[in-house]
Amino acid sequence: MRIDIDFQYGYLIVGISSLLKDYRLAHHLNTVLGIDLKRLEDLPANFEKEKRVVPFPLFIDNLNDNFKVCILIGCNNQGTKLFPLLKHYDYILLYEMPSVDWMPENVVTSIRKISNVQLVKNISSEELKGFHPILMDLEMHLHQLSMKDVKVKRKI
């Protein structure tokens, strides 16, 4: 799977602040948005300054008619923020190529209905500084997972 993000076209990125555990939020998002997020292996994010790799929760739905792919990323782990400039968000929801029915306002309004969600906001391209290195990590991680899946299928 390849994620080439041009933030001006074809993407909806929503920041979510919530006390819910990642699996609970994914369940509620599945319910209110009619999606089917599934847990993948955690996203290993490389923090070069600290010389360490920190895993972050990752969920994906790539079998929906309303978008090409939907990804939920947990932004906090062990006191480390995945996006330091977006520190007030606990999760990032990324839709690639949403259909015209998936207007940002509708998605944000639906997510706000979830109890224990404190903040939901469509994130602008100006707020996304530092997002590209994480997306490269995400792209490599998804590629590695797809290669593992191919190897498992070949063994069967």
State whether residue 13 is helix, strand or coil: strand
Query: Could you say which DSSP state residue 64 is in?
Result: -
Rounded distance, CA 74 to CA 94, Å? 12
Residue 126 placed within a domain = yes
The pLDDT of residue 143 is 73
Residue 5 placed within a domain = no
Q: Which residues pair with 100 in a beta bridge?
A: none
- Overall number of domains in the chain: 1
10-residue averages of pLDDT along the chain (156 residues): 46 90 96 92 80 88 76 88 86 80 84 95 76 70 70 39
Q: State the helix-helix crossing angle for 104-112 and 22-33, rounded to 10 degrees.
A: 120
The pLDDT of residue 125 is 67
The pLDDT of residue 9 is 43
The pLDDT of residue 53 is 84
With a CB cutoff of 8 Å and minimum separation 6, the contacts of 70 are 35, 37, 60, 61, 62, 64, 93, 94, 95, 96
Enclosing domain of residue 109: 11-155
The pLDDT of residue 7 is 44
Q: 62: part of which helix (H) or strand (E)?
A: none
The pLDDT of residue 151 is 44
The pLDDT of residue 155 is 38
Q: Return the half-sphere exposure (C-beta side, CA atoms, 13 A cut-off) of residue 133.
A: 10
Residue 4 placed within a domain = no
CATH code: domain of residue 120: 3.30.310
**E strand spans, the chain:** 11-18, 38-39, 43-47, 52-56, 58-61, 69-74, 76-77, 80-81, 91-96, 117-122
Residue 2 placed within a domain = no
The pLDDT of residue 99 is 72
Residue 25 placed within a domain = yes
The pLDDT of residue 149 is 62
State whether residue 109 is helix, strand or coil: helix
